[in-house]
Amino acid sequence: MVKEKRAGIVNDTCIHQFDLRDVVLKKYKHICQYCGVKGNTIDHIVPRSKGGKTAFNNLVCACEQCNTEKGDLGLDCFLSIKKSK
């Protein structure tokens, strides 16, 4: 879990497990990385259905609307669709 950045070593005998969702939301200050409004969900940049992992470097904060619209689209595809709206 430490290697996957889901936990941190406190000392020789204690490891603290992080709530990955909370860490991601705090990292992005609850701002949707796709449209800039308040976000309350996390999104896999590379969808799990396309081999994306639930890892810190593959997660961003998203609003519910963007998360739903993105679905299992890849990032480039979703952004090009969003840009054309």
pLDDT at 9: 57
Q: Which residues of the chain have pLDDT under 50?
A: none
Asked if residue 72 is part of any domain, the answer here is yes
pLDDT for 7: 62
Q: Judge whether 58 lies within some domain.
A: yes
Our count of domains for the chain comes to 1
Using DSSP bridges, classify how beta strands 14-17 and 7-11 pair: parallel, antiparallel or unpaired: antiparallel
Beta strands in 1-85 (DSSP E): 7-11, 14-17, 41-44, 59-62
pTM, to two decimals: 0.78
CATH code for position 79: 1.10.30
What per-residue confidence (pLDDT) applies to 85? Answer: 74
Please write the tens of the pLDDT for every residue from 20-42. 888 899 999 999 999 999 999 99
40: in domain: yes
Residue 1 lies in a domain: no
pLDDT the model gives residue 16: 65
* Residue 56 belongs to a domain: yes
